[in-house]
Amino acid sequence: GESVGLHLPTLSVQEGDNSIINCAYSNSASDYFIWYKQESGKGPQFIIDIRSNMDKRQGQRVTVLLNKTVKHLSLQIAATQPGDSAVYFCAEVKYYGQNFVFGPGTRLSVLP
C-alpha cells in the first residue's frame, strides 16, 4: 500500500528521459545532504550523498547538485526507467548526533 499521501509534489517523465528532482533545505550548518528513494510499501533506501563542501557528485545514472547560496539540492536521474518510479526524499545531516532531517518528498512517475 501507499506510504505517503496525496499532497506530494509530483513529477511525471517519459521513460528514457532525464529527471530532475529538487529540494530546498533549511540548515546552513548541515554537513551532508542525502537522497533516499522509497518505493510503495517499503522503507527508504539510500541513493547518494554529497558533502557540504562539494557542488556536484555523480553515481550510477544519478547526479546530485548542491547550491549552498540558495540552499538548494537537486537529484538528476539519467535515462529514467520504470523502476525509478518512487517517492524521493532529500535529507540533511550533521555529523554530531547523525540526525537525518527529511524533506516532504517528491513522487516520480515514469510514463511508458
Partner 1 sequence: NAGVTQTPKFRVLKTGQSMTLLCAQDMNHEYMYWYRQDPGMGLRLIHYSVGEGTTAKGEVPDGYNVSRLKKQNFLLGLESAAPSQTSVYFCASSYGNQNTEAFFGQGTRLTVV
Q: How far is the CB of 41 from partner 1 (least distance, A)?
A: 8
Distance (Å, rounded) from C-alpha 78 to C-alpha 43?
Answer: 23
Q: Which window, 14-22, 39-47, 61-69, 76-84, contacts partner 1 (CB under 8 A)?
A: 39-47
Q: State how far Cα 15 lies from the chain centre.
A: 18
Pick from 19, 66, 105, 110 the residue near partner 1 by CB under 8 A: 105
- Residue 53 or 98 having the CB closest to partner 1: 98
Strands 45-51 and 32-38 turn out to be antiparallel
Coil, strand or helix at 91: strand
- For partner 1, how many residues bind (rule: CB under 8 A)? 28
Distance (Å, rounded) from C-alpha 77 to C-alpha 64?
Answer: 9
- Decide if residue 104 touches partner 1 (CB under 8 A): yes
Q: How far is the CB of 100 from partner 1 (least distance, A)?
A: 6
- Decide if residue 23 touches partner 1 (CB under 8 A): no
Q: Which region holds residue 56: left if phi is over 0, alpha if psi is between -120 and 50, else beta? A: beta
Interacting residue ranges for partner 1, rule: CB under 8 A: 1, 3-8, 32, 34, 41-46, 49, 89, 93, 95, 97-105
